[in-house]
């Protein structure tokens, strides 16, 4: 077995993970926001040493939804809802907006159309459901 057989061929650093997976910059920004809000939510829950039952009561959620939230299933959770949950846990959420480092120009058609709407939707569903598959490597037809 070669020494570098398990070595990754590409490592995403910083905020480029979703772009590296092929998402348009606009969608990647939304996903990054959700992931950051979720990470903060988990930090607060851990810091306060809340049990799932306490989280259920504080956030006024049913147990299966608390479980999904804690496990990271964000497929049906909006950034608005995550912000609300953080507020219910006594946190203040501030958003900083800055100029994007690179402005992509679109000529003649949207990036969604060029990537394929179905593949973008499938990739989003895979990321937010915890399924580790990239849409372009799985050839399932829908």
Asked if the structure places residue 99 within a domain, the reply is no
Domain holding 64, by residue range, is 19-94+110-128
| Residue 99 to residue 134: CA distance in whole angstroms | 29
Answer whether residue 74 is part of any domain.
yes
Share of the chain above pLDDT 90, in %: 41
Q: What does residue 11 show for φ and ψ, rounded to 5 degrees?
A: -120, 125
Instruction: Indicate which CATH number applies to the domain containing 82.
Output: 1.10.260.40
**Residue pair 40/86 in contact by the 8 Å Cβ criterion:** yes
Confirm whether 86 is domain-assigned: yes
Domain count, the chain: 1
Give dist(CA 118, CA 93) in Å, integer. Answer: 33
**Coil, helix or strand for 57?**
helix
Residue 118: Cβ-neighbour burial (10 angstroms; 0-12, 13-18, 19+): exposed
Token output for 81:
């809802």
Q: Which residues of the chain are modeled with pLDDT < 70? A: 1-5, 7-15, 101-142
Q: What is the pLDDT of residues 99-135, one digit of tens each?
A: 876 655 444 444 444 445 555 566 666 666 554 444 4
């Amino acid at each position: 077995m070669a020494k570098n057989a398990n070595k990754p061929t590409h490592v995403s650093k910083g905020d480029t993970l979703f772009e590296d997976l092929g998402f348009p910059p606009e969608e990647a920004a939304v996903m990054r926001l959700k992931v950051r809000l979720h990470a903060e939510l988990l930090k607060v829950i851990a810091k306060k040493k809340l049990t799932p039952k306490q989280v259920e009561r504080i956030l006024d959620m049913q147990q299966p939804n608390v479980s999904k939230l804690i496990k990271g299933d964000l497929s049906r959770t909006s950034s608005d809802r995550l912000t609300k949950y953080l507020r219910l846990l006594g946190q203040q959420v501030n958003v900083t907006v800055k100029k994007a480092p690179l402005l992509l120009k679109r000529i003649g058609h949207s990036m969604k159309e060029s990537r394929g709407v179905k593949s973008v939707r499938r990739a989003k569903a895979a990321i937010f459901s915890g399924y580790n598959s990239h849409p372009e490597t799985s050839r399932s037809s829908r």
